[in-house]
Chain A
Amino acid sequence: MKIRNTDGEGEKIELQMTPMIDIVFQLLVFFIMTFKIVAMEGDFNIRMPAAAPQAAPPDQMEFPPMKLYLSANEDGTLAGIRLNEESLPTVQHLNSRIQELIGTDGGPSRDTAEIEVGFDYDLHYEWVIGAITAVSGTKDAHGNVVRLIEKIRFNTPESPNE
C-alpha cells in the first residue's frame, strides 16, 4: 500500500488560546465579583409550645425553672440582671453564677435545668442573646464549649404600655 507523504508532516498543531483565555477571565471576574465573605452563623434552639403541659406545679418540682429577668435603660442597653431573686451586676457574673448552680451536686443537672428568660420590652436584642449565651454555655481554657442550660424559654411578653 502506498503511504501518502503529506506535506505537513511534523508540523506543530497550535491551539487557539485566545477564546479560552477570554472565557476563563470572564469566569474569574464573575467569581471575584460575587465573592462575599460571610461570617458563620449559629442558632440557639428554643422549644416553646403555645400551651406547654407542665409535668408538675413548680412548687412540687425538685428544681423549679430558674427565672432570669433583664431590665433595660431608656436607650435599650442593659440596666440590671435578676436571677431568681438575686441581683447580678454584669452578664459575666450571670455566667459565673449559672456555672456555680449547675456545677454543684445540690443543684439541677445540665439535662434537667430549665430557665425562663424575661426582659423589658425595649431591651436591645443583642443583650438578650448575650444573656442566653451566658446561661447556655461557656468556654473552657482550651476554647471548647461547655454546655450549661439547654432548656431555655421566654416568658409571656408584656406590651410596652403596660
Chain B
Amino acid sequence: MRIKKRKSEILEGDLTPMIDMTFQLIAFFMVLINFTQSETNDMVQLPDSALAKPPDSQLENLVIIHLGQDGTAVMNHTEVNYLGLRHYLDVEYYRIDVQTTDNPKQTTIVIRAHKAAKGGMVQELIQICQEAGFENFALRAEENINSAPKYITPLGG
C-alpha cells in the first residue's frame, strides 16, 4: 500500500472571535463596576421603599452615617456607638467650615440605618446632628424593585 506523504503544518486556531468576546466582556464589567464602596456598609440592611428613586443629580457635601441594628454608627470609617458621635460631628462641622468653602449648614447628613434598628435611635441620631449644627438630613432607603408597592396604595386602588 502506498502511504501518502503529508506535509507537516502547524494548525492555528483563529483567535479573533475569542478576543472580540473577551474584550466585550471586559468592557461590560468595566462599565458596571461600582467603585462607591465607601457609601455602603455590610452591617446595614436598608429598608425598602417604592418611592426611593436614585436622585437625578448627585448630592454634594454629604456626610454619610451608617447606623447598625445594635446602635453602632460608622462615620468616616470610624466605628462608635451613635450616642458618642457628637465629637466626630463637631470635628466634621469645623472641617467643612474652615477647610472648605462650603457652608456646613448646607451639608446633608445621609442616614443609612438598618431596617430593624429602633426608630428612636434614628431620632436621637438626628438630634445629635442638630446639636452639632447640621440641618439637612436624608434618610436612605433601597429601591423596591418589585414594583408591587409594599406600603403604598396606587391612586384609585
Contacts and interface: CB of A to CB of B under 8 A. Distances in A.
Are chains A and B native binding partners rather than an unrelated pairing? yes
B120 A120 contact: yes
B17 interface: no
Which among A21, A131, A139 has the greatest number of chain B C-beta atoms within 10 A?
A139
Contacts of B154: 138-141
B30 interface: yes
A39 interface: yes
A41 B52 contact: yes
Contacts, number: 194
Contact of A40 (B26, B131, B142): B142
Contacts of B140: 41-43
A46 interface: yes
B4 interface: no
Contacts of B19: 17, 20-21, 24
Interface in B73-96: none
Interface string B23-39: 10110011011100000
Given A24-B23, A47-B136, A35 B143 contact: no
A50 interface: yes
B155 A35 contact: no
A34 B54 CA distance: 22
A48 B135 contact: yes
What bracket does the count of chain A residues touching chain B fall in? 35 or more
Contacts of B141: 41-44, 129, 133
B119 A124 contact: yes
B126 interface: yes
A154 interface: yes
Interface in B136-157: 136-143, 145, 147, 149-156
B130 A50 contact: yes
Nearest to B130: A50
A131 B139 CA distance: 13
Contacts of A45: 108, 136-138
Contacts of A24: 19, 22-23, 26
Interface of A: 17, 20-21, 24-25, 27-28, 31-32, 34-36, 38-50, 70, 72, 76, 91-92, 95-96, 99, 119-134, 136-141, 143, 145-146, 154, 156-160
A-B pairs, 8 with minimum CB distance: A121-B120, A31-B29, A42-B52, A157-B123, A43-B138, A126-B47, A126-B115, A130-B151
